[in-house]
Chain A
Amino acid sequence: MSLNDTLKNLRENGIDEAKRAERLQELNDLRVNLLGKKGPITKALRGMKDVPAEERPEIGTLANNVKNDIQAAIEEKMSELNDKLVAKKLEDEKIDVTLPATKQVQGTRHILNQTIEDIEQFFIGLGYEVAPGYEVEEDHYNFERLNIPKNHPARDMQDTFYLSDELLMRTQTSAQEGRDMEEHDFSNGPLKMISPGVVYRRDDDDATHSHQFHQIEGLVVDKNISMADLKGTLDALCRHVFGENREIRFRPSYFPFTEPSVEVDVSCFNCGGEGCRICKYTGWIEVLGAGLTHPNVLKMSGIDPQVYSGMAFGLGPERFAMLKYGVNDIRDFYLNDVRFLEQFKGVN
C-alpha cells in the first residue's frame, strides 16, 4: 500500500473510531494513540525517505490534513459528549422551585413611624427641618406661649397630665413653636420646621381615644406667609399622602394660637367624593387643623407681626394611618401584635 493510501486509511479509521467513542477517556486515548509521537501516522511518515523528492510536499500536506481531520473529529465528538454530560448534570440538579424559601427576614418599621417618616420626607424636600421637642414641657410653652393663659376655656379642650404646677406631659407638639421661634436667627432666612412626637391627654383609652398619641406640628415664619401658602402646602401634602387626585378644603375653626384658624378636609380617597361610610357620606374627611400664627404668639417670641407672619398646622399620624389603611381601633397601634405590625411591610 502506498504511503498515500496508508494515510488515507488511517484517516478513515481514526474518524470512524472517534465517532464511535462513548466516553471522553476513549477520545483522549485515541488522540494519544493516533496523533502521538508513537502513533501510526508518525510511524508511516518514516517511509517518506522512500518517496521521490518531488512528491514529498504533497504527502506532507496530506499527512497534516489527515492529522487535522482526525483532530477535528475527536474534538467534535468530545464537544458532543460534553454537551450530553452537562445536560445530564442539569437534569439531575433540577429542583422544586415551589418549595418555600430560606427566610431572609427584614423587620417592619412601625406603621406610625412609617407614616411620620413619609410626612417628614415630604417636608424635608420642601426645606423644613425636623425638630422634635420635649415630651415633658413647661406650662409656659405648652399653653401660655400659645396664647392659652391659665383659665382659658381652651384648656378644657385638652385635659392635661401635670407633673407639678409648672410641668406637664405636653398635650400638643405646638409646644415646640415658642422654643423654635426663640432660637431661630431670621437673618439666616425663614423658619421652616416640623416637630413630630408623642403627646399626652387625660383620656380613657378606647377605640378612638388614647392617652398617648402622636402629632406633627409644622411652622413657617417669614415675611410673606399667607393663607394661600398654607393652603398650597397642605394641598401638596394631602396629595402626597392620600393620592394625586385629592383636593382639600378649609373650614373656619378656632385655635387660640392661630388666627385665622381652619380645619382642613381632604376629598374622600375611598369614594372620590361621592359619599361613603368612611367620609360619613359627605365626600370629605377632616384630617388636620391649621392657621396663621396668632400675632400674640409671634410677639411673645419677640417677632414683629407687622413684619413677619407665620403659618402653623398640626396633624395626627394615628388618624392618617387609620384613614389610609382602614385601622378601626387606635389601640392596635400600641398592642404591637406582630401580625398587625408586619402587614405594613414596605407600605412607605
Chain B
Amino acid sequence: MKISVNWLKEYIPVTHTVEEMADKVSLTGIESGPVNLGEELTNLVVGHITSITPHPDSDHLKVCQVDVGEDTDIQIVCGAPNVAEGQYVIVALHGAHLPDGIKIKRGKLRGQESNGMICGLDEVGVPAKYMPKEFENGIYVFDEPQTPGAEVYDLLGLKDKMVDMDITPNRADTLGMRGAAWEIGATYDEKPTFKQPELDNSKISDSQDVTAEVTEKELVPDYLLRELKGIKVGKSPLWMQRRLWNQNIRPVNSVVDAANYVMIEYGQPIQAYDLDKLQTKAITVKLAHNGDKLDLADETKVLDKNDLVIAAGDQILGLAGVMNGSVAAVDENTTNVLLEAGVFDGASVRKAAQRHDLRGDDSNRFEKGVDNGIVDEALVRATQLVDQFTEAKEISNVITGNFTKAEPTVIKGDFSHINHLMGLNLSNDEITKILKRLGFEVAAAGDALTVTIPTRRWDMSIEADVVEEVNRIYGYENLPNTLPAGMETRGGYSKKREFSNKLRNILLGAGLDEVINFSLLSKQDVEDFNTIQTEYTKLLHPMTEDHEYLRNSLIPGLVRNVAYNQARKNNDIGIFEQARIFDRPTDQDRPNEVEYISGAVSGNVVADSWNTEAQQADFYYVKGLVEEMLAFTNSDAEFTFVATDEYDNLHPGQTAKVLANGQVIGFIGKLHPNYQKAHAVAETFVFELNIDLLFGLNKKNVKAQSAPKYPSISRDLAILVEKDVENGQLVADIFANGGKYLRDVNIFDVYQGKNLKPNHKSLGYHLEFLNPNDTLTDEEVEKAFTLVKDSLVQKFNVEIR
C-alpha cells in the first residue's frame, strides 16, 4: 500500500524525505520504495472561465476567456464537451509540463489564439480508470470555487509524496494508514495519535428496520451493521476524492467513498447497501446454494455451496469479503443506507476470490487478516463520515450478526533467551524500550518478560515474534558476525555423491560437456525411451504438454541438446548429464528417484586439423567411455555387453545392454535412423548407466602386487570365422582354454570383405602368457596355445590361418 506523507502527518510528525523513509522502513520493517507523483508537472493553475464564445471556424471548439489570477483573462481554445461558463478548471499555462513529456505552448487553433490548455484529470496524471466517471470524456471541473491562479497540485494530490510498502503476507496490519503509522512511527520512535470517531448522539435512534443473522459463525467472527436514514447522497469532498484516486480507488459518491476511505484508514473493509433495494429486511450471512447468482455491474457469477454470501431473503447482495453485487448498490437516489463491517475467514475468502477471479482490495485484506479489535470503531468512523457528507436524519444503533470480543495477545518470554537468539546482550531496559516503541505493553519480573500485544498486531503470537521485533528495531546492522560455536562436526558429501562425482570426472576428462535438462517431459518423450519399463508419473495440472510427465530417461533431453546445437552448427557434440530419473512400480504412487549418468556423442570426437585426421564418434568410442567408468567403479562385478534389438528408438544392430553380474545396469547404442531424422540430429551414440545399481555393487578388495619380474611370451592367432560369431564369445573361449598363465587377449585386426569366404570375417588376436613366479617355457605356452586353437576349431568352426 502507498502511504501518503500528507495523510501520515495527521498521525505522526514527518521530517524525512520519502527516499530516506523508504530506505529506513525497508531495513527495519517492510520493503518500501519512494513514490513522487507528478514531479514533471509545472505551470498548472486554477482557472475560472468567465465567458465562452463559439469558435468561428469549428463546430466543437469553444473560445474561453479564463481568469488565471492575472490582470487580464487569457484566451484558451477548448474542445471538451463539458466546458461551460463559470467553471473552475485546471489550466496548463504556456510552458507547462504534463506527464509523458508533453509541453504546452501558446499558439493558434484554427486561427484563434490559445494561451494554454484546460485539462482533464487524466491529462495531469490521474489514471483515467481512477478518476470520477463524470469527467471521463472531458475536462475536470472543481465542485467549489477556487482561487484563480493558485497551483492545483495540492488540491488534487498531483504531487503527493508516498512510501510504497510492499508487504509480506504477515504484515497486513499495515494495509491501513493507522497500521502504517504505527510501523513508521516505531521506526522513528514517534508514537502516533488518532482521533476517536464520534457520532451525533442526537440522531441515534433505537428503532431499526433490519435484522442480521450469521449462520456460519466460525467463518464470520464479526458482523456489524448500522442504518442511516434520510440521507442525501452527493459527491464526497475533494480532500477525500484525491486521497482515494491516489490509492487507485475511483471516487463514486459520498457513501461509497466514505466506505472505501475507512478501509484505507483502518484496513477494515466496509460495505454499503441501499436499504430500499433489499427484498426483505432480514440480512443473513450464509453459504450459497448451488446455482445462486450474483449480479455484478458487468457480469453474472454463478455461485456454489462453498460460497459465503450476504443475502436479504433470496436476494444475493454480495460475496462475503470479496465483492458486492449491483442489486443494492448505493446511488445518487439512495435515501436510506445500511453500512456493514464484517470479518470473514481468510481461507474461505481466498478460495472464493480465486474461484470467481475477483481478487481485490477487500479480499486481499481478509485473506491476510484484519484487526478484530477495531471492527466496531471502523463502522462508527464510516457512519460518522456518511452522516457528515449526507446529513442523515436518523442513525441506528449497531445491529449485530455476530461479535467476538478481541483480546490482546500475551506473550511470555525471557530477556536472556531473547538476547541469546539474537546473539546480543541488550539490557532489559533497552529491550523494554524497543517494545514500547511498537506500542506493546511490557511487564518485567527479573529475567521474565510479559508482552501484551494490541489486537492490531495479530501476527504476533510467540516469543520468537518478540525476538524479531526487538532485533529489527534495534537494527540488524548492529548485529555482530559470529559463527556457530558448537561441537566440531565432520562435513562432506555422501559416499554415493562421491561415487557419482568420480564417474562425472571421467566423462569430463574425456572431453564431454556437462548439461542440465528439465525433469518434466512430454508424453512422447517418456514413451520414446522407457527402457526401464516403468509406469509413467504424470502431473495433475501440467502447464504445457511439453512438461507433463516425470522423466524415465535422460536420453530425450540429451537428444534435444544435440539437436539444438547441431541446428546452430555446433556439429561435434559430446555431452552428459548426471541426474535423477523417476521409476514408479505399478503398486506405488510415489516414484523411486534413481540417479543416472547418461551421455550423447555425435559428429567428430577428434577434429580434422593440420596434424590430425578427423575421427567420428561410433559405438566403440562410447563403449570406451562406459568401460572406463565401469573400471572406476572399483567393483568386483563381471561387466558384459549384450547385443539387443529390444529398444525401439535405438539401432537394432548397434545397441548393447550393459550388465553387471548378469543384471542390466544400462545400455549403449546408436539412435535409430528414424528417430535421428525425426529429431533432426546427425548420427548420435548414447549411453545410460544406473548409478544406484553401480554404487551398490561389491567393492574390489585391492591387494597390491609387485610388477611381474619374469618376461611374458606372446602368440598371435589369425582365424577365419562366420560373420555372426561375436568377439566376446571367442575371447571367453580363449580364456577358458588358455590355462592359468594366459594373461591377456587383444584383438588387433578385424577384416570383412574382399578375398574372404562369403559371410566370414578374419580376426587377429594377440595372446600374452605370463607366470608371475617363474620363467615360462615355450613348451608350456605352445601346449596352452594348441588347446585354445583346438577348442575354437571345434566350437566355432574357425579356420586357423
- Contact between A229 and B541 (Cβ–Cβ < 8 Å)? no
- Contact between B485 and A254 (Cβ–Cβ < 8 Å)? no
- Contact between A231 and B481 (Cβ–Cβ < 8 Å)? yes
| Complex: A311 Cα to B486 Cα, angstroms | 13
Within 8 A of B (CB), among A39-85: none
- Contact between A341 and B519 (Cβ–Cβ < 8 Å)? no
- Contact between B513 and A251 (Cβ–Cβ < 8 Å)? no
Which residues of chain B are within 8 angstroms of A136 by Cβ–Cβ distance?
537, 550, 582, 590-591, 593
| Complex: A261 Cα to B565 Cα, angstroms | 43
| Complex: A311 Cα to B479 Cα, angstroms | 15
Within 8 A of A (CB), among B469-498: 471-472, 476-477, 479-494, 497
Across the interface, B515 reaches (CB within 8 A) one of A110, A126, A127, A220, namely: A110
- Among A124, A161, A203, A263, residue most surrounded by chain B Cβ atoms (within 10 Å): A161
A129-B491, A339-B570 as given contacts; A259 in contact with B517, CB under 8 Å:
no
The closest CB in chain A to the CB of B570 belongs to A338
- Contact between B542 and A107 (Cβ–Cβ < 8 Å)? no
Which residues of chain B are within 8 angstroms of A212 by Cβ–Cβ distance?
518-520
A180 in the interface, Cβ–Cβ < 8 Å? no
| Complex: A235 Cα to B564 Cα, angstroms | 40
Q: Interface-forming stretch among B271-279, B459-467, B716-724, B732-740? A: B459-467
B455 in the interface, Cβ–Cβ < 8 Å? no
The closest CB in chain A to the CB of B501 belongs to A117
Across the interface, A125 reaches (CB within 8 A) one of B491, B539, B591, namely: B491
The closest CB in chain B to the CB of A164 belongs to B589
B763 in the interface, Cβ–Cβ < 8 Å? no
The closest CB in chain B to the CB of A203 belongs to B543
- Contact between A107 and B517 (Cβ–Cβ < 8 Å)? no
A301 in the interface, Cβ–Cβ < 8 Å? no
A279 in the interface, Cβ–Cβ < 8 Å? no
The closest CB in chain A to the CB of B459 belongs to A254
A294-B464, A336-B516, A337-B570 as given contacts; A226 in contact with B511, CB under 8 Å:
no
Main secondary structure of the interface of A (DSSP, over half): mixed
The number of chain A residues with a CB under 8 A from chain B is 89
Across the interface, B30 reaches (CB within 8 A) one of A204, A228, A252, namely: A252
Which residues of chain B are within 8 angstroms of A203 by Cβ–Cβ distance?
543
- Contact between A226 and B514 (Cβ–Cβ < 8 Å)? no
Q: Interface-forming stretch among A4-12, A21-29, A96-104? A: A96-104
B27 in the interface, Cβ–Cβ < 8 Å? yes
- Contact between B468 and A249 (Cβ–Cβ < 8 Å)? no
The closest CB in chain B to the CB of A154 belongs to B169
Which residues of chain B are within 8 angstroms of A260 by Cβ–Cβ distance?
464, 467-468, 471-472
Within 8 A of B (CB), among A204-228: 204, 211-212, 220, 222-228
- Contact between A106 and B509 (Cβ–Cβ < 8 Å)? yes
| Complex: A203 Cα to B351 Cα, angstroms | 20
- Contact between B609 and A103 (Cβ–Cβ < 8 Å)? yes
| Complex: A189 Cα to B491 Cα, angstroms | 12
B508 in the interface, Cβ–Cβ < 8 Å? yes
Which residues of chain B are within 8 angstroms of A261 by Cβ–Cβ distance?
468
B337 in the interface, Cβ–Cβ < 8 Å? no
- Contact between A226 and B574 (Cβ–Cβ < 8 Å)? no
- Among B471, B538, B607, residue most surrounded by chain A Cβ atoms (within 10 Å): B471
- Contact between A107 and B589 (Cβ–Cβ < 8 Å)? no
Can you list, as one digit per residue, whether each of A150-175 has a CB less than 8 Å from chain B (1) or not (0)?
01011011000111101101000000
Across the interface, A334 reaches (CB within 8 A) one of B169, B517, B580, B610, namely: B517
A127-B491, A153-B368 as given contacts; A236 in contact with B483, CB under 8 Å:
yes
B267 CB to closest chain A CB (Å) equals: 16
- Contact between B513 and A338 (Cβ–Cβ < 8 Å)? yes
B729 in the interface, Cβ–Cβ < 8 Å? no
A72 CB to closest chain B CB (Å) equals: 45
Which residues of chain B are within 8 angstroms of A112 by Cβ–Cβ distance?
516
The closest CB in chain A to the CB of B469 belongs to A260
- Contact between A151 and B539 (Cβ–Cβ < 8 Å)? no
- Contact between B482 and A232 (Cβ–Cβ < 8 Å)? yes
- Contact between A231 and B476 (Cβ–Cβ < 8 Å)? yes
The closest CB in chain B to the CB of A263 belongs to B31
Q: Interface-forming stretch among B85-93, B421-429, B660-668? A: B421-429
- Contact between B483 and A233 (Cβ–Cβ < 8 Å)? yes
Across the interface, B489 reaches (CB within 8 A) one of A113, A192, A252, namely: A192
- Contact between B484 and A292 (Cβ–Cβ < 8 Å)? no
| Complex: A297 Cα to B483 Cα, angstroms | 22
| Complex: A292 Cα to B346 Cα, angstroms | 27
The closest CB in chain A to the CB of B607 belongs to A103
A202 in the interface, Cβ–Cβ < 8 Å? yes
B451 in the interface, Cβ–Cβ < 8 Å? no
Which residues of chain A are within 8 angstroms of B550 by Cβ–Cβ distance?
136
A262 in the interface, Cβ–Cβ < 8 Å? yes
B356 CB to closest chain A CB (Å) equals: 16
The closest CB in chain A to the CB of B573 belongs to A338
A259-B464, A260-B468 as given contacts; A108 in contact with B350, CB under 8 Å:
no
A129-B492, A211-B520 as given contacts; A190 in contact with B564, CB under 8 Å:
no
- Contact between A153 and B484 (Cβ–Cβ < 8 Å)? no
B700 CB to closest chain A CB (Å) equals: 26
Which residues of chain B are within 8 angstroms of A166 by Cβ–Cβ distance?
589
Across the interface, B541 reaches (CB within 8 A) one of A120, A125, A161, A295, namely: A161
- Contact between B514 and A109 (Cβ–Cβ < 8 Å)? yes
- Contact between B464 and A102 (Cβ–Cβ < 8 Å)? no
Can you list, as one digit per residue, whether each of B404-443 has a CB less than 8 Å from chain A (1) or not (0)?
0000000000000100111110000000000000000000
Across the interface, A99 reaches (CB within 8 A) one of B539, B542, B610, namely: B610
Which residues of chain A are within 8 angstroms of B424 by Cβ–Cβ distance?
226, 228
Can you list, as one digit per residue, whether each of B336-355 has a CB less than 8 Å from chain A (1) or not (0)?
00000000001100110000
Which residues of chain B are within 8 angstroms of A144 by Cβ–Cβ distance?
none
Which residues of chain A are within 8 angstroms of B479 by Cβ–Cβ distance?
227-228, 231, 250
| Complex: A161 Cα to B568 Cα, angstroms | 33
Which residues of chain B are within 8 angstroms of A164 by Cβ–Cβ distance?
540, 589
| Complex: A259 Cα to B30 Cα, angstroms | 15
B367 in the interface, Cβ–Cβ < 8 Å? yes
- Contact between B29 and A252 (Cβ–Cβ < 8 Å)? yes
Across the interface, A153 reaches (CB within 8 A) one of B169, B482, B579, namely: B169
- Contact between B487 and A190 (Cβ–Cβ < 8 Å)? yes
B215 CB to closest chain A CB (Å) equals: 21
- Contact between B482 and A249 (Cβ–Cβ < 8 Å)? no
B228 in the interface, Cβ–Cβ < 8 Å? no
A242 in the interface, Cβ–Cβ < 8 Å? no
| Complex: A72 Cα to B612 Cα, angstroms | 49
- Contact between A254 and B464 (Cβ–Cβ < 8 Å)? no
A279 CB to closest chain B CB (Å) equals: 14
A131 in the interface, Cβ–Cβ < 8 Å? yes
Within 8 A of A (CB), among B514-530: 514-520
- Contact between A124 and B484 (Cβ–Cβ < 8 Å)? no
| Complex: A295 Cα to B637 Cα, angstroms | 49
A229-B482, A259-B465, A338-B565 as given contacts; A127 in contact with B573, CB under 8 Å:
no
Contacts A/B (CB < 8 Å), 6 sampled: A109-B508, A110-B515, A130-B494, A161-B540, A259-B462, A261-B468
7 further A-B pairs in the complex, CB-CB below 8 A; given A128-B491, A166-B589: A100-B610, A125-B491, A129-B492, A135-B593, A153-B350, A161-B541, A309-B421
| Chain A contacts to B: CB under 8 angstroms | 99-100, 102-103, 105-110, 112-113, 120, 123-132, 134-136, 151, 153-154, 156-157, 161-164, 166-167, 169, 189-190, 192, 198, 200, 202-204, 211-212, 220, 222-229, 231-233, 235-236, 249-254, 259-263, 292, 294-295, 305-306, 309, 311, 333-339, 341-342
The 10 lowest CB-CB distance pairs between A and B, nearest first, are A228-B423, A226-B423, A254-B168, A260-B468, A250-B476, A232-B481, A151-B347, A105-B511, A189-B487, A127-B489
